[in-house]
Amino acid sequence: MIEPGQIELAAMIPPDTFDAAAQQAAAELGEQGGGRMQKAMSGLAGQRIAAAMAEKLKQIDLLPMFIQGWGKSPEIEAEAKASEASGEPRFIRLGKLEQDLDLYPILGISGFGLSANPINFTLTLKAEFEAVEVGIEKAYVVQIGGGLCRLAAVLKLGQFSFPTGVDPVEWQVGKGRKFEKPGVPLLPNQAKTKA
Amino acid sequence: MPVDSSSNYLAWIAALIAALAAGGLALKHWLRPKLTVSCEIETGASTLTTASTPAITAPDLAFTIRIEPGEASAPTGNPILAAGDPA
């Protein structure tokens, strides 16, 4: 579900990008001896892949996934530990951060009583956060506000990359977003406990 | 009692017809599944021929999409501008 303050990934990846990737997948299946059936299915699937993948991407909440990576910065980790030790909420204002996040869409296609080999994509997201204010409680991010976030995406299939051809999406954090308690964990041991 | 050969003959014909009818029904019943399967195979083959033509949608295709998340990298840049307790 898209909530206020959530980054909508589907806006960054036009259907044509998925279509190009699906065509490449079909060609590779043919070269690998995948058979006419698999090639036909994959070739036909391009537009439907785009629609189905875009729908699936809408359901992914990216922001918490990026935030979990913030704790890998020694400075932010120190703030998280300080808030954990004191038990008091703390606020930090981020400077300019750059982060990468990989997602791995796996597409299965079946029809006519057969199933094609799964197609494994990689979706690399590049985020740039600037001047975002972060509320921390007990080493969990409980809210963010202000500042902005720029996001760009690259879809990959094996050694091939499919540029989206769109400018990075800029998202004004504005009033921001509150996360359900306890929040988004900043320290690795908290993430494991939550999982 | 004299035996009427014509009525015997008719009874034999009637029994034969009944046996043929029963056999026919049994044969029809036995053949029906085979004919249905054959029909499905032909349908599948014609669908496949159609599907191999570009720009034709294939309503029988099904997709499953799973997205496995990776880990975000450590942030680079200038992580913290200011820090403090809430005012």
Cα A173 from Cα A132, distance rounded (Å): 7
pLDDT of B53 reads 33
What global pTM score does this model have? 0.67
More confident residue, A85 or B27: A85
Which of A68, A75, A100 is facing B79, going by the closest CB pair? A75
Which of A40, A53, A102 is facing B65, going by the closest CB pair? A53
Put simply, whether A10 touches B (Cβ < 8 Å) is: no
Give the pLDDT mean for B43-68: 49
User: Tell me: the pLDDT tens digits for A113-147?
Assistant: 777 778 888 888 899 999 899 999 999 999 998 88
Q: Does the predicted interface ipTM exceed a cut of 0.85?
A: no
Which of A90, A102, A111 is facing B83, going by the closest CB pair? A90
Those of residues 55-84 in B touching chain A at CB distance below 8 A are: 56-58, 60-84
In this structure, the dihedral spanned by the alpha carbons of residues B1, B5, B7 and B9, taken in order and rounded to 10 degrees, is 140
Please determine, for residue A107, whether its predicted confidence score (pLDDT) is greater than 60: yes
Upstream peptide bond of A14 is cis (omega within 30 degrees of 0): no
Put simply, whether A18 touches B (Cβ < 8 Å) is: no
